[in-house]
Structure 1
Amino acid sequence: MKNQLFLSLAATFLLAVPAVADTGKASVSIPADGMTCEIEFYTPDIVRVVKYPSAMTSAPEKKSLAVIASPADVNYSRKDNSGAVTLKTGKLTVSVNKKTGDITFSDARGRKLLREGDAVMTMRESGADKGSYTVVQNFSLDKDEPIYGLGILQNGKMSQRGTECKMIQGNTWDFVPFFQSLKGYGVYWDNYSPTWFRDNASTTMFDSEVGDCIDYYFMGGGNADGVVANMRHLTGDVPMHPMWTYGFWQSRERYKTQEELLEVVRRHRELGVPLDGIIQDWQYWGNNYQWNAMEFVNSGFHDPKAMMDEVHARNAHAIISVWSSFGPMTKPYREMDAKGLLFGINTWPESGYDGWPPRKDYPAGVKVYDAFSAEARDIYWNHLKRLYDLGLDGWWMDSTEPDHFDFKEEDLELPTALGSFRKVRNAYPLMSVEGVYDHQRAIDNDRRVFILTRSAFAGQQRTGANTWSGDVVSTWDSFRAQLPAGLNFSLTGNPNYNSDLGGFFPAAYNNVYGDNSAPRNPLFQELYVRWLQYGIFSPMMRSHGENIKREIYYFGEAGEPVYDAIAEAIKLRYALLPYTYSTAHDVSARRGSFLRALSMDFPADRNTHDCNDKFMYGRSLLVAPVLHAAYTPEDAISANKWLGLDNGTDNSAKVKAAVNFNDMKEHSVYLPAGTAWWDYFTGEKLQGGKTHSRPVKLNSIPLYVKAGSILPIGPDVQYATEKPWDNLEVRVYPGADGEFTLYEDEGDNYNYEKGMFSTITFAYDDSARKLTIGDRSGSFPGMIGKRKFRIVLPDGKSASVDYDGRKQTVKL
């Protein structure tokens, strides 16, 4: 190709090059014919690799959007001989072969972790990024080496070996260019342009459309937790969410008036079914020309302040839908348009006409804002603050990928504040969400930022965001795909994940029975209950979808199996709240994970390496959701793979015979080897490394506790903070030594960052059958002084302990 610069590291490191140069305490530059490679240690087991044409006198200036860490003062040794340049810290060895240019990464014991293949940079000859490059880096993995990560993928796979996908943010596929291996290392590809990830028998590669250099981070860690910790070190730690966010959330597309929204909160309180969060979806602003006005312009919301006052008076919280785009009749549109801060891509909604299909002869004129611009982010917050001042408790930031219809290559040529749209495309969700987080943190330390968002990128865990998997369709296949999607996302360092419980598009379940009949359609009932039961063990338990009303009272009444199964699932969520909130502290303070692939805790058991149907919730609970219909047929509802849409015309979603959800069915589950397990509900002890069957009904939740676990159980409440934890049940599961730290704070401010929280560590000695409750550490305003713990064993035996903060030992 004319004027093409083609650089392959396979032939660039020559013996005649100048000597390796130190560029700093922990940085080395290796020049070669046509290419320079810079290796820079950030920690003893995190290293950055940058490659660029040697015609440049130094690496291109680049301020990473995702990486916020700075290189540390890392000591390393260097060995430079005729064959290789070898750099060694106490944890990693990085070796550059002078003949091939390949870099090999090994651990401290010399065990090879990863080896590079070819690196390729090809100059772009035209367009907005002319003079930049397409950048490709190949890696060579072991044949049977499982890898995880890449984001939220709807492919149903746990290990991503054999995956090929184009990483460009979409509705139901969120991409993070990061993978980690079961061997205990990870690779973060620091590029924001559309990128192909390909893994096949010969190579694993990242191939990005634009970059000024090849730029990636290799990190050790030793195991999955270590790799996640290193990724968080690079890209940011996780702030605590408010305690109330770990309760139950109800939502609908959409509540059309404030009375509809308030009715849900009132009915929950009347029925005694717990509720903490309610969400107002779109069009509270009026018509599509007023899209995302960030004001209650719709006449159905005549007094939004009174609405929020009642929500709070009933001890609930509300968040509201805001988008990355604005209609032409809105104040934000006019302000941003005057400053050239809007993109001209085709986005949602396409029509000003409120109906389906969209009337494109009445275009809405909605435009996406330039979230890469600091000025635009300021304007966004200034308008969002109107809702904040009304008392809204958080933000549902929808379409943060953003929606991009009728895609054309020239759309990527559009300018942003940080270069072409192509250059920064995939980081849009990070920039838009971080803008809101930073602005709210700047003015308020009394309310923790909470953001629910539809898309994500590396580093987004630092923004108080919980990402949901987009508008997925209401099918069993789609439901099953959510488990590995969330686990792989968590393995990128982003711990906060959820999905629309029941799926977003259930229209087919209505079609044959009439409007809003899906809650009484056994096919949807079974799917919804099983999805809801899975949601108990997500960082956010949120019921949501379009076309039907899915509040509990539409599924029947107390005493009926579907209603009861829903109520029991919600109540179990609250019973586990002390465990969940303590796990949230582990996530925030110790870089832990809520959703844990079984390979994280049981890597020696090969049966866990590609397990996509069960997981650990925290470090104690193994969740094995019922993922297949047992009472009804799994009717196939057509869906668009990328958008998650069903066509709404499938009439097959009809039950052909009576369904009795009280009938017993069988559910089998393989429990990992290396430990014993306890059935959470029956107290039966089970052996690991075996498959076990148990009878289940619709309300049954296959849940197992690892031997040695200590599990705090919360009081029966209607909302998260209704009752103090002054009389907790603490369940102890013998069979191994164990430890658990109970975490407590004020629940909804940032005083914990100042050390205002307390912890109590419970330690179980299995051989001595002894539980030690340690001295309480720390304090905070409102802390419980004296309390009771009721210690319970699986066989029901119990002991009561009065605790005043001082160490106690209990013989069991």
Structure 2
Amino acid sequence: MEKLAEYLKIKTAPRAKSENLVYCDNLRFTILTEKIIRIEYDTDLNFVDQASQLVWYRNLAEVDFKIKKTKEKLIIETNQLKLNYLRNKKTLNSKNLTIKVKDSAEIWHYGEGNQQNFKGTHRTLDGIDGAISLEEGLLSKSGWTIIDDSNSLLFTESGWLEKRSNNSDYCDLYFLAYGTQYKSILQDFSKLTGEIPLIPRWALGNWWSRYWEYSAQDLKELMLEFKKRKLPLSVCVIDMDWHQVKNDYTTGWTGYTWNKNLFPQPIKFINWLHQQGLKTALNLHPADGVYPHEKQYSAMAKSLGINPASKQAINFDLSKIDFINAYFKFLHHPLEEQDGIDFWWLDWQQGDQSGLTGLDPLWGLNHLHYYDLGRENKKRSFIFSRWSGLGSHRYPIGFSGDTVVSWDSLKFQPYFTTTAANVLYSWWSHDIGGHCMGTEDPELYLRWLQFGVFSPIMRLHSTKDDFLDRRPWAHGAEILKIARFYLQLRHQLIPYLYTHSYLANQTAVSLLRPIYYEDQSPAAFAVPDQYFLGSELIVAPFLEPTDQTTSLSKQTIWLPAGDWFNFFDGQSYKGASWHNVYGSLAEVPVIAKAGAIVPLGAASKFGSTDNPVELELNIFPGADNSFELYEDDGAAINPAAARTKFNSNWKPKQLKFTIEKLSGNADVIPAERRIKLKFKAVKNAEVKLYTDGKATKIKGDYNLQNNCLCLEIDYQPTSRYEVVLTNQSGLLKKKDISLSKIKRIIKNFKLETVVKTELFKAVKKARQRDSEVDFLNRFCSVLSNSQLEVLIALLYDAGTAQIKTAEFNNLVIFQGKLSELNYNFSSALLAAGHHKAQVNNTSAKTNPNKLIDLNQLKADKWNLTVNFTKFIQHRYSSD
């Protein structure tokens, strides 16, 4: 029997330690961690110790657990769970096998499904216009999850797969008990299944891709146009027309031979891309096999015992190890080693037949291609393909498929991408701008691009259609200007993003993660449009068209407890609160936590993703924090690494910020580095710098408009730096909505100029004297609903929104919250002619929908939420 090539054989440790095994009747229990227990049932006692497609590692550390075994029952108890089994050799049922989750006090009964699952992800978004249901994930509000691995294939000594030989009554279950310890269980799961790989640094830059018959010259001219317009890229993907399409044997989707009409000198072209700093991939559709028109056919046929003269097809068949070995040796290795292809886009979409019963061909290709690319440890393993089920986190990056161009499609993608963290699938790549059909719209294009910048992989792409265009300059000068800012910002963010790629590898927590990973308040489970981008930032992209009367987009966000700041302008937000945020086309809600430390690179050169010579640290006040920057060469399998730790120690009148001596290999970073420190949302301060404990001269540059103090340091990795900012009147500058911002917003309103002038005068009076709020009454008849809503939100931090949870299709009504409804606000409502509002009374035992006279609210000072939709709809009413 032929053996799989050695480099394709994975190293597993599937046999658990005997100390962690418990046998009872027809059952074997494996206590894998204090949170995970494996349950096997087989009347023949034929338990499985091979690695499965999903679980590769069971030889984990010994677990501290208690066991009590009698003739009647078995009890297994760890710090996190308690299993009870009433002994019965005949069968398992809901009465004789239960597990209690200690953290949540929930009890699982055998056979019980989980109705509170937070979901995971989905194979593809091909043809999807809006939301779809997702597969089950690893996390649930119940605090437990059950994984059924009974039917997955097993790895053999040959290095490939076979079906299980167990009886039909065999079951192989994994019970995960975690309560609210969401991040912890993800890490435990990765111990069983494998880590999230560290992706190449260059993959975090901007990608260009399009389904189009580009020639080498076309792509050269296009890349040079991006460069000329200062739009950085790091990857140029070549779609399927790189190979011969028209032939006498196949539909043309499958192919391995260069189309010399389009690429007369492919090696020269690939070298040119590399000289520009760009990596490249070729698109693959392997389903049709290999036919005589392919350049590689003759050599491959001979290796498989086929006479080339017979012109017999070489069928795609993953059940045959000799085919697998030849598939890589003849079809892919020459294109990589001779032509210079960096990775493969596995655009599998032709079915479910692999030749091996039970094997999804997509899973087989993902697994094999991932390990093939990293053969002989020459470069970091990497593929670009679709999700093939639980365990696919081992094969980044994901291609989400051919979405319809629509606002509904865009609106679904933040939730879809973030929720994938629940199955460790960190690295989704979407067709930014949408793939096909729908309606092309410059605003939609820009909002999608902005989301792409704050998503795992930023890849512009569309289908073959003259009227779909992903080039930023194709949508007008304003769109180009804004797109340039964000595409450059994407490359500047790479130090931060790459550090979190490393952290994902170490902790199994994805770059994009749901808010409920950090905050378990009810609101945190009802915000599908927002997410944590790493440890320091919350992003809530604008996902709906600009309002026609305000020229603003709106997003509703929930911020966990603590102080928060707009990343760009330092505006402060109160935590444990809802906020309606409004912005122009150029703005995206990116919110930094108190104490956040966000490293950026300098403005990017076209194809550069290297560790930056100039490093900019964005530092926010309000809390202690630390951040360790991770850097390596960006591509090696076992790279030398450098770690630089930043610490921020906060007191109301003083902030101490330290840059610790570099640990690891200093050769990884540039020989000369300059660090710019940008202290945001602070007052001007006395500044002291200590280098290795000695006072050093430093001059600060304070920007009063942005409340930002800038310092620069000529950095030496062997030195320790301490910067001390002091202001005896208090250092924190909580930037409220400034009059200049309100003026800019009113300027964008669709209103007569004279009305804008009078409105702004009234706003200034209202801000100068809190009791002056009657301007709402004066302007009520000329302000649109949206204009009135924006003014209320900006002046009183209140508003209304409807939040649609994508998975369950429910509508959650958010009422803009005031921690204590004050006299000014109730007066504002009254001045607008509305004397009653629907409220949720959170302190009194009354009907939550009772109509309450707002005149009474002034004295009661209730904690409540006001339904501003009611208010706006009835603002003309006098009842």
TM-score after normalising by structure 2: 0.68
Which residue of structure 1 lines up, in the alignment, with residue 421 of structure 2?
A: 490
**Structure 2 residue 675 is the aligned partner of structure 1 residue 789:** yes
- Contact 1:117/1:140, CA 8 A, preserved across alignment: no
**Structure 2 residue 581 is the aligned partner of structure 1 residue 619:** no
For 2:124 and 2:107, the matched residues in 1 are separated by: 24
**Structure 2 residue 23 is the aligned partner of structure 1 residue 49:** no
Match of 1:700, SS?
coil
Amino acid at match of 1:304: P
Which residue of structure 1 lines up, in the alignment, with residue 265 of structure 2?
A: 303
Note the C-alpha offset of 1:687: 0.7
When residues 65 and 262 of structure 1 are mapped into structure 2, their CA distance, relative to the original with a 3 A threshold, is same
Deviations 1:63-111 (A, max 9, x none): 401211123333432112466411123443322244755433334x575
**Structure 2 residue 178 is the aligned partner of structure 1 residue 189:** no
Note the C-alpha offset of 1:306: 0.9
Which residue of structure 1 lines up, in the alignment, with residue 509 of structure 2?
A: 592
- Contact 1:678/1:685, CA 8 A, preserved across alignment: yes
When residues 442 and 95 of structure 1 are mapped into structure 2, their CA distance, relative to the original with a 3 A threshold, is same
Match of 1:772 among 658, 672, 680: 658
Amino acid at match of 1:461: H
Which residue of structure 2 lines up, in the alignment, with residue 442 of structure 1?
A: 375
Match of 2:486, SS?
helix
Match of 1:139 among 113, 127, 132: 113
When residues 44 and 433 of structure 1 are mapped into structure 2, their CA distance, relative to the original with a 3 A threshold, is same
- Contact 2:442/2:475, CA 8 A, preserved across alignment: no
For 1:542 and 1:211, the matched residues in 2 are separated by: 45
When residues 110 and 229 of structure 1 are mapped into structure 2, their CA distance, relative to the original with a 3 A threshold, is closer
Which residue of structure 1 lines up, in the alignment, with residue 401 of structure 2?
A: 470
**Structure 2 residue 318 is the aligned partner of structure 1 residue 371:** yes
When residues 526 and 802 of structure 1 are mapped into structure 2, their CA distance, relative to the original with a 3 A threshold, is same
- Contact 2:428/2:457, CA 8 A, preserved across alignment: yes
Which residue of structure 2 lines up, in the alignment, with residue 214 of structure 1?
A: 171
Deviations 1:373-426 (A, max 9, x none): 443332221111121021111111111xx422xxxxxx87x851xxx2xx333x
Note the C-alpha offset of 1:462: 2.4
- Contact 1:265/1:316, CA 8 A, preserved across alignment: no
Which residue of structure 2 lines up, in the alignment, with residue 804 of structure 1?
A: 716
For 1:496 and 1:380, the matched residues in 2 are separated by: 27
Deviations 1:334-379 (A, max 9, x none): 888999999xxxxxxxxxxxxxxxxxxxxxx999733354433322
Which residue of structure 2 lines up, in the alignment, with residue 9 of structure 1?
A: none
Which residue of structure 1 lines up, in the alignment, with residue 391 of structure 2?
A: 459
Question: Gapped runs of 5+ residues in structure 1?
Answer: 1-21, 119-137, 164-172, 195-209, 343-364, 405-410, 510-517, 519-523, 633-659
Which residue of structure 2 lines up, in the alignment, with residue 674 of structure 1?
A: 561
Which residue of structure 1 lines up, in the alignment, with residue 100 of structure 2?
A: 106
Which residue of structure 2 lines up, in the alignment, with residue 13 of structure 1?
A: none
Amino acid at match of 2:183: D
For 1:424 and 1:545, the matched residues in 2 are separated by: 31
For 2:525 and 2:415, the matched residues in 1 are separated by: 12
Note the C-alpha offset of 1:544: 0.6
Amino acid at match of 1:112: A
Match of 1:485, SS?
helix
- Contact 2:130/2:410, CA 8 A, preserved across alignment: no
Amino acid at match of 1:809: E
For 1:28 and 1:691, the matched residues in 2 are separated by: 50
Match of 1:435, SS?
helix
Note the C-alpha offset of 1:675: 2.0
When residues 682 and 26 of structure 1 are mapped into structure 2, their CA distance, relative to the original with a 3 A threshold, is same
For 1:540 and 1:731, the matched residues in 2 are separated by: 22
> What percent of counterpart residues are identical?
21
Matches within 5 A, 1:631-646: none
Match of 1:681, SS?
coil
- Contact 1:332/1:380, CA 8 A, preserved across alignment: no
For 2:145 and 2:556, the matched residues in 1 are separated by: 30
Match of 2:362 among 415, 429, 440: 429
- Contact 1:667/1:693, CA 8 A, preserved across alignment: yes
Which residue of structure 1 lines up, in the alignment, with residue 589 of structure 2?
A: 702
Question: Gapped runs of 5+ residues in structure 2?
Answer: 1-15, 154-166, 307-311, 681-706, 726-879
Note the C-alpha offset of 1:697: 1.9
When residues 493 and 187 of structure 1 are mapped into structure 2, their CA distance, relative to the original with a 3 A threshold, is farther
For 2:117 and 2:600, the matched residues in 1 are separated by: 36
When residues 313 and 733 of structure 1 are mapped into structure 2, their CA distance, relative to the original with a 3 A threshold, is same
Note the C-alpha offset of 1:761: 1.0
Note the C-alpha offset of 1:287: 2.0
- Contact 2:255/2:286, CA 8 A, preserved across alignment: no
Match of 2:433 among 502, 511, 520: 502
For 1:746 and 1:254, the matched residues in 2 are separated by: 33
For 2:611 and 2:506, the matched residues in 1 are separated by: 23
Match of 1:380, SS?
helix
Which residue of structure 1 lines up, in the alignment, with residue 255 of structure 2?
A: 293
For 1:157 and 1:484, the matched residues in 2 are separated by: 11
Q: Rg: which structure is higher?
A: 2
When residues 540 and 571 of structure 1 are mapped into structure 2, their CA distance, relative to the original with a 3 A threshold, is same
State which drifts further: 43-52 or 272-281: 43-52
Match of 1:25, SS?
helix
The structure that is helix-richer by fraction is 2
For 2:82 and 2:575, the matched residues in 1 are separated by: 37
Note the C-alpha offset of 1:312: 1.1
Amino acid at match of 1:624: A
Match of 1:691, SS?
strand
Which residue of structure 2 lines up, in the alignment, with residue 323 of structure 1?
A: 285
Match of 2:197, SS?
coil
For 2:17 and 2:506, the matched residues in 1 are separated by: 34
Note the C-alpha offset of 1:249: 0.5
For 1:545 and 1:341, the matched residues in 2 are separated by: 42
When residues 97 and 482 of structure 1 are mapped into structure 2, their CA distance, relative to the original with a 3 A threshold, is farther
Match of 1:525 among 442, 459, 466: 442
**Structure 2 residue 232 is the aligned partner of structure 1 residue 232:** no
Match of 2:258, SS?
coil
Match of 2:397, SS?
strand
**Structure 2 residue 230 is the aligned partner of structure 1 residue 268:** no
Which residue of structure 1 lines up, in the alignment, with residue 119 of structure 2?
A: 148
Q: Which has the higher contact order (CA 8 A, sep 6+)?
A: 1
Note the C-alpha offset of 1:30: 2.6
Match of 2:541, SS?
coil
**Structure 2 residue 11 is the aligned partner of structure 1 residue 40:** no
Residue correspondences, number:
645
Matches within 5 A, 1:599-618: 599-603=516-520, 605-618=521-534
Match of 2:677, SS?
strand
- Contact 1:182/1:223, CA 8 A, preserved across alignment: no
Match of 1:187, SS?
strand
**Structure 2 residue 369 is the aligned partner of structure 1 residue 380:** no
TM-score after normalising by structure 1: 0.73
Which residue of structure 2 lines up, in the alignment, with residue 16 of structure 1?
A: none
**Structure 2 residue 202 is the aligned partner of structure 1 residue 244:** yes
Deviations 1:262-318 (A, max 9, x none): 222111112111111111000221125354332213421111011111111112121
Which residue of structure 1 lines up, in the alignment, with residue 350 of structure 2?
A: 403
Note the C-alpha offset of 1:554: 4.9
Match of 2:423, SS?
coil
Match of 1:179, SS?
coil
Amino acid at match of 2:209: S
When residues 308 and 666 of structure 1 are mapped into structure 2, their CA distance, relative to the original with a 3 A threshold, is closer
- Contact 1:393/1:450, CA 8 A, preserved across alignment: no
When residues 612 and 339 of structure 1 are mapped into structure 2, their CA distance, relative to the original with a 3 A threshold, is farther
Which residue of structure 1 lines up, in the alignment, with residue 483 of structure 2?
A: 566
For 2:313 and 2:212, the matched residues in 1 are separated by: 20
- Contact 1:503/1:545, CA 8 A, preserved across alignment: yes
Amino acid at match of 2:669: M
For 1:436 and 1:338, the matched residues in 2 are separated by: 23
For 1:341 and 1:180, the matched residues in 2 are separated by: 50
For 2:172 and 2:296, the matched residues in 1 are separated by: 36
The structure that is strand-richer by fraction is 1
